[in-house]
């Protein structure tokens, strides 16, 4: 199996393998090799949580002679593909860096169009389909900063998908990693002050539960698209032992084959968690 996984790195780039669909077993997926007309079966390499810093929307739009918000709109397609990818491979958690606190510094026009996309990017039918496939969507971030115009939409999406058990999608919105750490520290300090928690009871596990993301599996993979090689205040606690991948492809141009090749590349890594 390992040899087959390694060979697939080359195959994915050479044949543009097309996806056939899940084989019905959580640890398997199938790729169709157009040259040999055969099915190749690979494992998910033990990935439970994959996180994406979805970068490059505006640069992609510029390369296409489009407006910046056209890039954000075109980024919705790869988001939906990433959800399908995770469902097909039995991945439990998908985290998407949708909007950082620093993004509030952008122009009012761009922010307005971006919020329009968030508000209308998922149709009622899309939400029903996600719920039917066991997908739960959570918006993770500084909720006091959520734009008032989006609160109703966000709450409706979270309520409609709250029973999902197959895939948790964290939409990191109005999110900042340092701010998340401060919020967790403040919460625990308040509990200590009120007598509900002793200082010596604050462990790594306790602190993790106080984070906005909660006590879910930590990211096995953190992937940044768009060519930049930094995390930009993304999950500093959670990504301590994540495998980092930086790809040149802009987010709107990400394809199913790109997601597949990332999983194959992860399998080639040797994780020692600092040992």
Sign of CA dihedral 19, 53, 209, 160: negative
pLDDT of residue 121: 78
Assigned fold of 47-268 = Undecaprenyl pyrophosphate synthetase (3.40.1180)
> Is residue 55 among the annotated active site residues?
yes
Provide the pLDDT for residue 243: 97
Catalytic-labelled residue, pool 44, 65, 88, 103: 103
Q: How far is CA 17 from its chain centroid?
A: 23
Residues in the chain predicted with pLDDT less than 50, given as ranges, are 1-29, 36-41
Per the CB < 8 A criterion, the answer to whether 262 and 221 are in contact is: yes
Residue 122 has what pLDDT? Answer: 80
Q: Are 232 and 100 in contact (CB under 8 A)?
A: yes
The whole-number pLDDT of residue 31 equals 53
Domain boundaries, the chain: 47-268
Q: Could you say which of 55, 70, 220, 258 is catalytic?
A: 55
Q: What is the pLDDT of residues 56-85, one digit of tens each?
A: 999 999 999 999 999 999 999 999 999 999
**pLDDT tens string 15-58:** 333 333 333 333 444 555 555 444 444 556 789 999 999 999 99
Q: What is the value of pTM for the model shown?
A: 0.84
88 counts as catalytic: no
Specify whether the CB–CB gap between 260 and 19 falls below 8 A.
Answer: yes
């Amino acid at each position: 199996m390992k040899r087959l996984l390694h060979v697939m790195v080359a195959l994915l780039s050479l044949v543009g393998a097309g996806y056939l669909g899940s084989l019905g077993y959580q640890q398997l997926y199938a790729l169709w090799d157009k040259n040999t007309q055969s099915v190749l079966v690979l494992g998910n390499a033990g990935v439970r949580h994959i996180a994406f810093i979805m970068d490059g929307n505006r640069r992609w739009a510029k390369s296409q002679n489009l407006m910046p918000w056209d890039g954000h709109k075109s980024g919705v397609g790869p988001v939906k593909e990433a959800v399908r990818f995770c469902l097909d491979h039995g991945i439990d958690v998908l985290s998407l860096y949708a909007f950082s606190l620093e993004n509030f510094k952008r122009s009012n026009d761009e922010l307005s169009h971006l919020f329009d996309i968030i508000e209308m990017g998922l149709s009622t039918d899309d939400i029903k389909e996600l719920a039917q496939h066991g997908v739960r969507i959570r918006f993770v971030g500084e909720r006091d900063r959520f734009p008032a115009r989006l609160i109703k939409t966000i709450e409706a999406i979270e309520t409609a998908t709250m029973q999902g058990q197959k895939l948790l999608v964290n939409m990191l919105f109005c999110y900042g990693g340092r701010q998340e750490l401060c919020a967790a520290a403040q919460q625990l300090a308040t509990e200590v002050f009120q007598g509900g928690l002793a200082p010596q009871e604050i462990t790594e596990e306790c602190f993790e539960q106080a984070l906005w993301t909660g006590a879910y599996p930590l990211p096995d993979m953190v992937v940044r698209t768009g060519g930049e090689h930094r995390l930009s205040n993304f999950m500093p606690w959670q990504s301590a032992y994540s495998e980092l991948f930086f790809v040149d492809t802009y987010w709107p141009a990400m394809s199913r084959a790109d997601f597949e090749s990332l999983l194959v590349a992860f399998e080639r890594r040797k994780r020692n968690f600092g040992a």
